[in-house]
Structure 1
């Protein structure tokens, strides 16, 4: 493998007792650098470039050689400097308040482009959109190039932190690609925040706090970062992402470090690679919802031996949890609700695990219960025939908000069909149709009567 690609394969290294790898730690550094008493001119974006946040050939072709910063800025204490250095030299991932994991490299590269577009520095290559080039286009192009012939992953996987309160170590949940979920999140955020900065060069600390909902009173609400997939899709389509991946491949073709990647790639194949990369990324990260894995919400182990489902399934059964009765609107609140339901199902009901296949929060995320492959305990007599999807809350009097409804109706179910987990002619039913219960509540039931596949 080409040497400059090697660093992208590792997201985290063993914890060292440094500040938590949380977005709030990064924002505190930004605040320190922006303080009127700091007497420094360096920005967090400059530091990112200097410490390796723009180390790939394509990124350097757009933003130039990184600035030289020989010593730690006095505004940062030794622990902050060490953490930042490790993050940008090695794994680069931090935990955001919405429960997502964000790679700093593409995030800060996008911010650097936004600042330069606002008049704070040059952009060197006019043949590409620099905002897409340094965040996602190069990473996507090289990932799909190196995986030609079917060898190796092209996107994903996700992963889990050792401790969501003091995140230090992040473990991938499958074979790594050059665009794991953390890089995808960082790239989408880099595009969105870089675009915002280009048009409105506000202070970075405020930009980051407002976007991630860190320490600004939105902890119990839904932060803008939870809408990253929707908002990125607006900027990246239709056809924009494919266009930019193709443009970046043509830049890489003439750069000495990357020529060998494209030596035997003709023009038609180049176009096909860009099309596939853009299509697969869009399907996975824009059209499908993010699913929070069990290890992130703190699930207990499954008791016993799970029974496999025979896919694709033909049905989806919609539930509401009733208790907890209030919708959860933050990662912390939804994770607590998941743990409470699992305890109730295991300790009181005597089930092997939480009963639902998936659970839907009002924070913009789907939470993995038993998942795609294992029989649940959600709809007696029908658990092996369909997925049980439960909305957190009591929806007898009012339905979930429109965004939370759409998370299942417009995203989860179509994605399950594309992935071969659900038949294209699937049916949707409310729990009450399958047994003696009011579930999923009168209001939610009236809503799902309007869904495709309801019978």
Structure 2
């Protein structure tokens, strides 16, 4: 295999007791490196390029050969410098405050493009070869277009993964080692997050030049987003979708494939790829990426919120299912608005369900926080313990909080109604004519609270009771979308 591809597919080097591989560590180092706090000779983004954040042929075609690797800045101690030299590579990742994992290479490459444009520096914007008259958007090229196009090129004919996987940290309090949960592609979840953030922050910097440290702090820090306290990073899928919509992503992947066709290091990848197949690859790559990382919500895996093991042997569901049952947790009674708070709520609910109720695991299939994320309970494939008598017929989705008198905020409602359920249909886990019911319709309970129940009555698929009779037999009218 081509040497640069082998390097791109390599896993991150395990941690060795250095400062936490957390975005806060990166922000702290950026703060002491960048003016006006230091007599810096290189920006954080340029330092990333020097240390391997732009090592692929397409990225180097856009941003040029990387600058010389500098000596360790005196503002950093040896441990900080060692950590930085490991993190500022394309595949190296850190844990962000919102609980997502972000690869710094594409993130800082996007910022470097914007920084150079703002400062009048060198960025390849236009024609690479007269034969193709290729015009590229360098911000998309260095963040996602090259990685996405190359990943789908390599996987032609079903060979290897195209997107993902995700992974988990050994300790979210002191993250050092990140382990992938399957065979890697060139666009792991961490690279996808870093690329989307690189496009968003690069676009933001292009509109208003700003120091990288402030850009990162404002984007990833809590209290800088909505009135509910969500950081802007928790909106990355929505915000990237706006910037990459209307065929933009497909266009940029196709442009990068044509650039790769003329670069010496990548010509052989496209030797037997005709023009029609090239277009098909770009279309499929853009479609699959959009479906997975824009239209579907991010789901926090069990290993990230600190789940205990399942007790016993889980029973598999027979997919696709036909129903969704909406709950509120009641206790915890307050919505969770951060990764740390939602992870604590998940652990508390699992302890209660296992230790007090004697269940094998947390009962819900999925739990919805007000931090912008869905949390995996028993997940897509295993029978839950959420709606007695109907656990094998549908998914149980619980909102964290007591919604008897108030509603979750609009974004949190939409996370299930407009993202999770349509995603489940597209991925074959839920039937197209699925039904939605509140827990109270299936048993003697007030769940999911009066306010939330009145809300879900307006959802597509809600089943309206029209007669006496209980359970789900007779007396029901389906509300279509």
Contact 1:361–1:392 (8 Å) recurs in 2? yes
Deviation at 1:203, TM superposition (A): 1.6
**Structure 1, unaligned runs of 5 or more:** none
Kept after mapping to 1: 8 A contact 2:164/2:185:
yes
Displacement of 1:150: 0.5
RMSD: 1.7
Distance 1:213 1:113, change over 3 A: same
* Distance in structure 2 (CA, Å) of the matches to 1:401 and 1:11: 39
- Going from structure 1 to structure 2, the CA distance change for 1:393 and 1:127 (only over 3 Å counts) comes to farther
Corresponding residue for residue 476 of structure 2 = none
- Cα deviation for residue 108 of structure 1 reads 0.3
TM norm structure 2: 0.92
Contact kept? 1:15, 1:169, Cα under 8 Å: yes
Q: Distance in 1 between matches of 2:283 and 2:399?
A: 36
Work out whether residues 141 and 277 of structure 1, in 8 Å CA contact, stay in contact via their aligned partners in 2: yes
Q: 1:214 to 1:127 in 2, by over 3 A?
A: farther
Equivalent position SS for 2:156: coil
Write the deviation string for residues 236-287 of structure 1: whole angstroms up to 9, x where unpaired.
Answer: 0110000000000000000000000000000000000000000000000000
Alignment deviations for residues 361-386 of structure 1 (CA, whole Å, 9 cap, x no partner): 00000000000000000000000000
Q: Is the 8 A contact 1:359 1:390 kept in 2?
A: yes
Conserved in 1, the CA contact under 8 Å of 2:225 and 2:232? Answer: no
1:324 to 324, 332, 335: 332
**Cα 1:237/1:448, change in 2 over 3 Å:** same
| Mapped partners of 1:189, 1:127: distance in 2 | 26
Q: Which has the larger radius of gyration?
A: 2
Query: TM-score if structure 1 supplies the norm length?
Result: 0.97
Partner of 1:384: 392
CA separation of 1:445 and 1:214: change in aligned 2, threshold 3 A: closer
Q: CA–CA distance in 2 between the matches of 1:371 and 1:54?
A: 37
* Higher alpha-carbon deviation: 107-116 or 198-207: 198-207
Following superposition, the deviation at residue 11 of structure 1 comes to: 3.8
Query: Which sits farther off after the overlay, 66-75 or 160-169?
Result: 66-75
Q: Deviations over 1:208-261 (max 9, x none)?
A: 111001698999821000000000000001100000000000000000000000
Secondary structure (helix, strand or coil) at the match of 2:158 reads coil
User: By how many angstroms is 1:12 displaced?
Assistant: 2.4
Match of 1:32 in 2: 32
Partner Cα distance (2:455, 2:79) in 1: 52
Q: Which moved more, 1:2-11 or 1:421-430?
A: 2-11
**Using a 3 Å threshold, how does the CA distance of structure 1 residues 215 and 438 change in structure 2: closer, same or farther?**
closer
* CA deviation string 1:393-451 (max 9, x = no partner): 00011111110011011110111111111001000000000000000000000010010
- Which protein, 1 or 2, shows the higher relative CO under an 8 Å CA cutoff with sep ≥ 6? 1
Question: How far does residue 70 in structure 1 lie from its aligned partner after superposition?
Answer: 3.5
CA separation of 1:340/1:155 partners in 2, compared to 1, >3 Å: closer, same or farther? same
What is the Cα deviation at residue 71 of structure 1? 1.0
